[in-house]
Amino acid sequence: MADAVDEILAQWGRERPDLDVWPMGIIGRVARLQLVLHRELKDFFAGQGLETWEFDVLATLRRSGEPYELTAGALLKAAMVTSGAITNRIDRLEAKGLVERVRDADDRRSVRIRLTSRGLSLVDQVVGLHTANEARLLEALDPADRDRLAGLLRGLLESLGDTSPR
């Protein structure tokens, strides 16, 4: 069975047989897969009344452990967006009653972003559904293929220096 990338590779093979285009086979598929998964996840989160970025912020706070709070700087590193974007995101989540800003007890100049009880309840409800949805998206892979693919992707990410979630 052929996919869209096979057609692209065949076109390059016909037009530029002097090029070894094997990297396009991998990077092209990863890029296309990212687009497909992004669309699927966006649709899933919309069905939960959330934007993908909203879930990302809520999940980052939730997995940080009690009291489910981080500095804006730590959220900024985790989200890999501009400081203005993270401020906007926090503002929007605060307006929805999902997070609150609290003064750091140890450093009064610092503000921490904390899940509200409503935010905690929402992320705890959605994360199980999200995990089931991701499993659905990967159901074409048997357990051995999932493990092998995860290992290959881990190795590639490590080789490119992506070893920390923050």
| pTM of the predicted model as reported, rounded to 2 decimal places | 0.86
* Cis check: omega of the bond before 165, within 30 degrees of 0: no
Q: Check residue 84 and give its pLDDT.
A: 78
Distance CA 91, CA 49 (A): 17
Mean pLDDT by 10 residues, the chain (166 residues): 94 97 97 97 97 94 94 80 82 97 82 96 98 97 97 95 76
Distance CA 29, CA 6 (A): 9
Q: Check residue 104 and give its pLDDT.
A: 75
